[in-house]
A and B are shown apart, each in its own frame.
Chain A
Amino acid sequence: MVQAVGVGIVLMLCVLAFRRLVHARWTWRAPRTGIVVWQALGLATGLSAIGVLLGFGLEPYQAGVAPALSLLAADLASGTPPAWPSPLQGVAIVAGLLLAIYLIVAVLVCAADVLRARRRHRMLLRLVAHYDADAPGALVLDHSAAAAYCLPGWHPTLVLSTGAVRMLDRDQLAAVLAHERAHGRERHDLVLLPFTALRRALPRSRLIRDAVAAVSLLVEMCADDRAVRQHSCRPLVAALRRFQSTAGMSTPAGALGIADDQIPARVHRLTDPSHRLPLPGRCGAVAAAAAAVAVPVGLLVLPL
């Protein structure tokens, strides 16, 4: 029982941490660290939720969850009645296992769907997009709305609309392309996948929607950092401002593109040079995240 209660406490702390992290600003000062913390928090929350159910249900076995599950399987296989005293605990075990399967399947189904959509997108791009000397390394779509995005994958594809090419000057285009290229290289689509899969599975959860938005913004900031390393921040800031000013006109808001409601935060961050979170802070955050994952893992595996 202590085990289940312990994991339950961790679960509650994780949910609270989720809420805090959604509104956190410190992550903007160290977006990479922020992303690691988000991933760890997501993992810890999932493991704790499963752990609470399984810990409660398998309590009679007086062992860690993993050993207890194998004992239960052995019991069922050999026909002896399992040791649980109450049907409620039986329900908890089933619920825990179902939750684990549900989470894994949700991510896999989302990934398969995304891959299918991407394949079609790539095929259509091959048919209607063209190369343009003004936008080297990118495909151009003949559309007046300003758009810039990266189609992720093994070979990431950068795409601009003619509207975007006309709107930006050469340096700004280069900065935007560097930003999009960073998304492809750093596989930000994989970073976002667990969160978008969760949002698809629980579409009405406000918290999860906010979490997706928060992680998306951090992903944009990581790409901004990459882009300004090669080109100074002025062209990128200018490009972002132009995208923002055309909003209400149109700004296709791809998670890996230019979303106009994130722009003020990103511009402010780029123009304020004193924003780096110092190393001790970043290490502390990563350590806390690691601890958050280690606790449910430990409680699940170690015997009581």
Chain B
Amino acid sequence: MTGLGELERAVMNVLWDGNGPATVREVVAALSSRELAYTTVMTVLDRLAKKGLVRRERDGRAWRYAPAASREAYVAELMYDALEFTGDREAALVRFARSVSGAEAEALRAALSEPGHAKRSRARDDSPG
């Protein structure tokens, strides 16, 4: 995981571990050890926004960036996706849901109710394998 991918990961970690929506400047400061240019971080945040991973909202003259979903929600989505790689999605989901804790179940529900995921799930209703 090197290069731009690694930067995206670092930026997402800042947003996930931070306290609420952050400006580009705040993210640059959080990653000060890497000595990144402002434009570099802005580019990365733009890419993440295009991928649907961060939302942005205007705050006065600046943009503030926040993650579109929690880290746990994405982990749950990945685990659920791994289930979808095979046949009986409903049974697999029940098996999976029975095992998760309350907080994880909440994250799973959140991941499943995301519009992008719901649309994809419907389209792949009889899961490709």
> How many residue pairs between the two chains, A and B, have CB atoms under 8 Å in the bound complex?
112
A216 CB, nearest partner CB in chain B, Å: 7
CB pair B129–A117 under 8 Å, yes or no, is no
B109 CB within 8 Å of chain A: no
User: Cβ of A256 and Cβ of B85 under 8 Å apart?
Assistant: yes
Chain B at the A interface: mostly helix, strand, loop or mixed? helix
Q: Which A residues touch B51, using CB under 8 A?
A: 123
Pick from A24-32, A124-132, A290-298 the stretch touching chain B. Answer: A124-132
A121 to B127, alpha carbons, bound, how many Å?
A: 15
Give the nearest-CB partner of A208 in chain B: B126
Given A127-B9, A196-B129, A259-B86, A144:B78 Cβ within 8 A: no
Contacting chain A: which of B17-25, B32-40, B55-63, B94-102? B94-102
Q: How large is the interface on B (under 10, 10 to 19, 20 to 34, 35 or more residues)?
A: 35 or more
Residues of B within 8 A of A44 (CB): none
Q: Is A145's beta carbon under 8 Å from chain B?
A: yes
Cα separation A195 to B87 with both chains bound (whole Å):
11
Q: Which residues of A contact B12 (CB under 8 A)?
A: 127
**With contact pairs A117-B120, A145-B79 given, residues A248 and B98 touching in the complex (Cβ less than 8 Å):** yes
Closest chain-B Cβ to A269's Cβ sits at a distance in Å of: 20
Residues of A111-166 whose CB lies within 8 A of B:
113-114, 117, 121, 123-129, 141-145, 147, 149, 159, 161
The answer on a CB contact under 8 Å between A250 and B100 is: yes
CA distance A195 to B126 in the complex (A): 12
Min CB distance B48 to A, Å, is: 9
How long is the Cα–Cα vector from A255 to B9 in the complex, in angstroms?
Answer: 28
Instruction: Report the Cα distance A121→B75, complex, angstroms.
Output: 10
Q: Is A59 an interface residue (CB 8 A)?
A: no
User: Of the candidates B1, B79, B92, B129, which one forms a contact with A216 in the assembled complex, judged by CB atoms under 8 Å apart?
Assistant: B129
Find chain A residues with CB under 8 A from B1 CB. 126
Verify if B45 is at the interface (C-beta below 8 Å from A): no
B46 within 8 A of A: no
B9 near A126: Cβ-Cβ < 8 Å:
yes
A287 to B71: give the CA distance in the assembly, Å: 52
By beta carbon, the residue of chain A nearest B86 is: A255
Interface residues of A (CB under 8 A from B): 110, 113-114, 117, 121, 123-129, 141-145, 147, 149, 159, 161, 189, 192-193, 195-197, 199-200, 203, 209, 212-213, 216, 246-257, 259-260
Q: Which 10 A-B pairs have the closest CB atoms?
A: A250-B99, A196-B129, A255-B86, A254-B85, A255-B129, A203-B126, A249-B99, A114-B128, A254-B82, A192-B129
